[in-house]
Every structure is written in C-alpha cells, then in structure tokens.
Amino acid sequence: MGQRKGQTGNPKGRPKGVPNKVTTDLKTWIASILDDGRDKFKKDMDDLDSSERVKVYINLINYVLPKQQAVSVEAQAEAEYKALASLIDTAPDEFVNKIAEKVLSLQKTREKLLK
C-alpha cells in the first residue's frame, strides 16, 4: 500500500549535510555548459562594443564580489573607534598608548564632523 500524503519512506528526511541530488546534478550540468562555452564567450565579448562590454563586466562582478554598502563618514569613524577601543583590552601595554592616541584622534575628527 502507498504512503499517505505528507509521509516519506525516510521519516527523518535527508541526513544533514547530504546535498540534494537533483540540485547537484543540475549545477554540475550548468557548470559543464559554462566551461565548454568559455572560448565562445570570450569571442562574443570581443565582438561587443565597449559600452556593452562594460555592462557585461558589471553584471558578472556581482557574482564575484560582495556588494558594498554605502557607509557615512560618521558611521565609519564610529566603527573604527569601537574596533580600536576593543583592541585596548587585548593589546600589549606598549601598543595601548598608540591605540589610545589613535582613538583620541578619531574622536576629534568625529567631533569636527558632527559640528
């Protein structure tokens, strides 16, 4: 007799860490198509005019580099201040003075920006 709706032959499901076979096979197939088409892709890129080529590069970069978030100067200074302040607790004494000087410098810069 068949199983009822919502039941499977494996009540615990797929073991953790085991990839989905269909997804793995599909990814492998797509990767092989892309690998086989590299030479044609390069030729096609050479045939594009410069503005189209730049658009393709920009679109491809999104898959390689993480997107950068716009950070205000104040937020960046605050993040650096917090990072340096946390280093004071763990840094050797000889570096504490250098870090403290940098923190004071950042505070002054921050105060100027906020005025």
pLDDT in the model for residue 49: 93
pLDDT in the model for residue 6: 65
pLDDT in the model for residue 47: 94
pLDDT in the model for residue 114: 80
Q: How many CA within 13 A on the CB side of residue 79? A: 6
The answer, yes or no, to whether residue 87 has pLDDT greater than 90, is: no
pLDDT in the model for residue 7: 67
Structure tokens at 20: 């989905």
- Give the distance, in angstroms, between the CA of residue 47 and the centroid of all CA atoms in the same chain: 31
The residue that leads in pLDDT, 8 or 76, is 76
**pLDDT mean over 3-25:** 74
Q: Torsion angle of alpha carbons 76, 82, 83, 85, nearest 10°? A: 140
